[in-house]
Structure 1
Amino acid sequence: MKPLNPDTAPEPGYETAQTKNGFLALVSKLVFDEKLPVRFMYKTVPEHLNDTGWRMFTGYETEEFLTDEQLNLIPVPLEKICQLDPALPELVQYNAGTVWERTPDSTEWQQVYDFTIPAPRTDVKITNDIEDFLSSRERS
């Protein structure tokens, strides 16, 4: 696989030199329910020891679909998803921060440089009011 811009690509091995952990990827259930191919994927920092950090999508997911990750993203062994697409084993060697896509009319993957990988959502209330802080601790 060649990056989009070979003139600005890092040295060979740079993007794949990260320590590998985990064995699971989160994959859109549309890949299995609708038998659609993976057409967009990115690697984030793994969330736990079994997580590779890979998130894989068909490109047909709606914003509403993506909002309910626990229902619509399925943990799948990376080996299993790689068996479905012979191009994936090479791509999943890349480090966190890597994004790939392919259009419906192409079989070739292209690296994406202008996508911001979403950060995990955490609801945290911050206050400088000691009474508000103490009352919120009592409620928890």
Structure 2
Amino acid sequence: MHSNDPDQPVTQEQETAQTKNGYLALVSRLLLEEKLPIRFMYKTVPEHLNDTGWRMFTGYETEEFLENELINMMPIPLERICQLDPSLTELVEYNAGTVWERTPDSEGWERVYDFRIPAPKVDVEITNDVDRFADTREGS
């Protein structure tokens, strides 16, 4: 039995006990095309059944690169990524909200606590106009 006492440290079991689903991670194109190592990654809430929620980057991505997610982020099976970089195997067990980085001069991964994981961009139009709402529903 574990306690919800905020003064008690969180165990690794609690940090990895979240329901697992999906098998794909979104990975920067630079990892594959430029053969650069993963140096930064975070887990967001999965966006669909095949999604693990993991997003992996080299650290060399520009803001413009990241804005064009459909072209620059590629879905890759998480198992394949862990085969390419076995140091990820234990880390990818962690829950959504987890962030890791590996600086070029460090040997291993370090947990990051001050990075704000971006929310998914959802294109939704909201209206209180009943007729307009009905028009948008018929058009889809």
Match of 2:110 in 1: 110
User: Larger deviation: 102-111 or 123-132?
Assistant: 123-132
Please provide the CA RMSD for this pair: 1.9
Aligned equivalents of 1:51, 1:39: Cα separation in 2: 20
Match of 1:33 in 2: 33
Q: Which runs of structure 2 are paired with 1:1-140 in the superposition (5 Å)?
A: 9-130=9-130, 132-133=132-133
What are the superposed Cα offsets for residues 5-39 of structure 1, whole Å, 9 maximum, x if unpaired? xx985123110011211111110010011110000
Query: Displacement of 1:42 after TM fit?
Result: 0.5
AA aligned to 1:126 is I
Aligned equivalents of 1:77, 1:90: Cα separation in 2: 16
Count of aligned positions: 134
Query: Kindly, what percent of the aligned residue pairs are identical?
Result: 71
Taking a change above 3 Å as real, the CA distance of residues 30 and 52 of structure 1, as seen in their structure-2 partners, is same
Taking a change above 3 Å as real, the CA distance of residues 138 and 77 of structure 1, as seen in their structure-2 partners, is closer
TM-score (norm 1): 0.85
AA aligned to 1:96 is A
TM-score (norm 2): 0.85
- Any unmatched runs of 5+ in structure 2? 1-6
Query: Displacement of 1:50 after TM fit?
Result: 1.1
Aligned equivalents of 2:88, 2:8: Cα separation in 1: 23
Q: Which has the higher contact order (CA 8 A, sep 6+)?
A: 1
